[in-house]
Chain A
Amino acid sequence: MMALRERAVVSLRSVPSLPKHVRIQYDSVRQAFAVLSPEKIFWPNDVSLDILRRCDGRSTVGDIIAGLAADYEAEQEAVATDVIAFLQEWSDKLLVRP
């Protein structure tokens, strides 16, 4: 009945998005952005938040890296390693859908 589920591996061609059960929300009480998920709430730092916001279901990981490298005036290669590792970690927790 069901397709065999496999662990998604993040690559430059992945087009990540946030699954339906995960959302980013500004919390006016704590004056910070929260990531809400079924049992856990995360408080991402500015860079993490910047990555997650670009997971819009249209941009590839390559696009996201290029955008971040430009905005932070950083080497694309260094950014790539960090971003792919971050997205793989969040994907393994089912918080990002690559």
Chain B
Amino acid sequence: MSTPLLPPIGMLAELTHRCPLQCPYCSNPLELLKANRELDTETWLALFSEAADLGVLQVHLSGGEPTLRRDLEQLIAGLAGRGVYTNLITAGVGIVEGRIETFAEAGLDHLQLSFQGARPATTDRIGNHKGAHEKKLETARRARAAGLPLTINAPIHRHNIEEVPEFIDLALSLGAERLEIANVQYAGWALTNRDQLMPEREAVDRQAEIVAEAQERLAGIINIDFVTPDYFAIYPKPCMGGWARDAFMVTPDGTVLPCHAAQTIPSLSFERFEPRRLSSIWADSPGFNAFRGTDWMQEPCRGCERREIDWGGCRCQAMAIAGDAAATDPACAKSPVHARMAMLIDEAKRIATTPSREPFVYRRIGAVTESA
């Protein structure tokens, strides 16, 4: 291999697929796992301990909704005991009073709270959960009262892109240190709902200007991270910082993946923690080695001066749009099928502005097999 194998630094743990919200862009797979498939407390703690041994410094506790795990305090304490930096990624709906304080006491370092809209009606509609916005505001207040640093995460798409200035005000008013304006990535449920979610070009351009202005104006007051929309890009993102380069994720049943959507690549198979050890999955499994480094690359990636900047972009997007997981990410202007991105934007606009358009397919177990 041309690049040396590095130890992983970050890990995303999807503790459960259960969630009170039904966001139509969820990054979970279409086939959601039920509670009886979830790893138990001891197995997660063993996995975390191995991750720390392997070099993981930061764990993002996510889902589904991770606070639905009754053992979350124990899991946080286990990680904190190993000096691992813990980030709880929550929808902030239905967390019983007093529980956020117990997370803080267990050693939680940081809390990331999603808002589906900056306006209550948007939040409630996108998550398909009445009253969600109010509950999130309460979660933010409790997190601040418990002394927890706060990031507000705003997934952006056609139905809330005009609320970007209000998201900035919301994050400021909640005392957040950080705001993520994160344009939806079209994998998982978002790919199913792409035509309903894709924003229009003019709105994307306006958004970029608003965010750039706010980043400058609010330097030293709030950090604004901007996850740009792939379909409007010139260069792809270094997805996951490069396939199996320094991060991985674990699904509720302990399957270890290089990224959220890796299981959409049919030629690859992935292994579960126990019986396999994390260290052997990281170093030796074919799924992890498939797109590691640069040896797997075809042209135009192979000869590109950016090959170790963006690592070929997203393998799953290459699979979904170019039909070849080893192709250049179509988000890249050098991709031979880059023009398809613009066609998909136009097609989405046509469909989304048709009066009789289909509604969202909300994320819930079995939804993709039902009529939406």
The SS class assigned to the A binding surface is: loop
The one of A2, A23, A39 in contact with B173, judged by C-beta atoms closer than 8 angstroms, is A2
The one of B9, B83, B178 in contact with A94, judged by C-beta atoms closer than 8 angstroms, is B178
Whether a CB of chain A sits under 8 angstroms from the CB of B221 is yes
Closest chain A residue to B109 by CB distance? A21
Report the Cα distance A19→B178, complex, angstroms. 13
Report the Cα distance A41→B85, complex, angstroms. 10
| Contact, CB under 8 Å: A38 / B147 | no
| Contact, CB under 8 Å: A30 / B109 | no
| Contact, CB under 8 Å: A7 / B221 | yes
Interface size class of B (residues with CB under 8 A): 20 to 34
Whether a CB of chain B sits under 8 angstroms from the CB of A91 is yes
Chain A 1-31, CB within 8 Å of chain B: the 1/0 string? 1100111100000000001110101010110
Whether a CB of chain A sits under 8 angstroms from the CB of B58 is yes
The one of B55, B83, B220 in contact with A92, judged by C-beta atoms closer than 8 angstroms, is B220
The one of A7, A36, A92, A94 in contact with B85, judged by C-beta atoms closer than 8 angstroms, is A36
| Chain A, 54-97, CB within 8 A of any chain B CB | 91-94
B177: chain A residues at CB < 8 Å are 19, 21, 38, 94
| Contact, CB under 8 Å: B149 / A91 | no
Whether a CB of chain B sits under 8 angstroms from the CB of A51 is no
Q: Tell me, rounded to whole Å, the shortest Cβ–Cβ distance linking A43 to chain B.
A: 10
| Contact, CB under 8 Å: A30 / B110 | no
Whether a CB of chain A sits under 8 angstroms from the CB of B45 is no
Report the Cα distance A21→B104, complex, angstroms. 12
| Contact, CB under 8 Å: A5 / B7 | no
| Contact, CB under 8 Å: A38 / B87 | yes
Whether a CB of chain A sits under 8 angstroms from the CB of B225 is yes
A8: chain B residues at CB < 8 Å are 220
| Contact, CB under 8 Å: A2 / B175 | yes
Chain B 41-84, CB within 8 Å of chain A: the 1/0 string? 00000000000001101100000000000000000000000010
Chain B 162-178, CB within 8 Å of chain A: the 1/0 string? 00000000001101011
Q: Tell me, rounded to whole Å, the shortest Cβ–Cβ distance linking A8 to chain B.
A: 6
If A5-B221, A91-B220 touch, whether A25 touches B149 (CB-CB below 8 Å) is no
Closest chain B residue to A3 by CB distance? B175
Whether a CB of chain A sits under 8 angstroms from the CB of B223 is yes
B151: chain A residues at CB < 8 Å are 38-39
| Contact, CB under 8 Å: B149 / A19 | yes
Chain B 117-153, CB within 8 Å of chain A: the 1/0 string? 0000000000000000000000000000001010100
If A21-B109, A23-B85, A94-B178 touch, whether A41 touches B58 (CB-CB below 8 Å) is yes
| Contact, CB under 8 Å: B112 / A38 | yes
| Contact, CB under 8 Å: B221 / A38 | no
| Contact, CB under 8 Å: A38 / B219 | no
Report the Cα distance A92→B218, complex, angstroms. 9
Closest chain A residue to B83 by CB distance? A25
Report the Cα distance A20→B111, complex, angstroms. 12
| Contact, CB under 8 Å: A20 / B220 | no
| Contact, CB under 8 Å: A21 / B110 | yes
A39: chain B residues at CB < 8 Å are 87, 151, 178, 225
| Contact, CB under 8 Å: B57 / A6 | no
Report the Cα distance A7→B218, complex, angstroms. 7
A-B contact pairs, 8 of them (CB 8 A): A19-B149, A20-B147, A23-B85, A29-B7, A30-B7, A36-B109, A39-B151, A39-B178
**Which residues of chain B have a CB within 8 Å of any CB of chain A?**
7, 9-10, 54-55, 57-58, 83, 85, 87, 109-110, 112, 147, 149, 151, 172-173, 175, 177-178, 218-223, 225
Closest 10 CB pairs of A and B: A7-B220, A21-B149, A29-B55, A36-B85, A92-B220, A38-B110, A92-B219, A5-B221, A21-B110, A94-B177
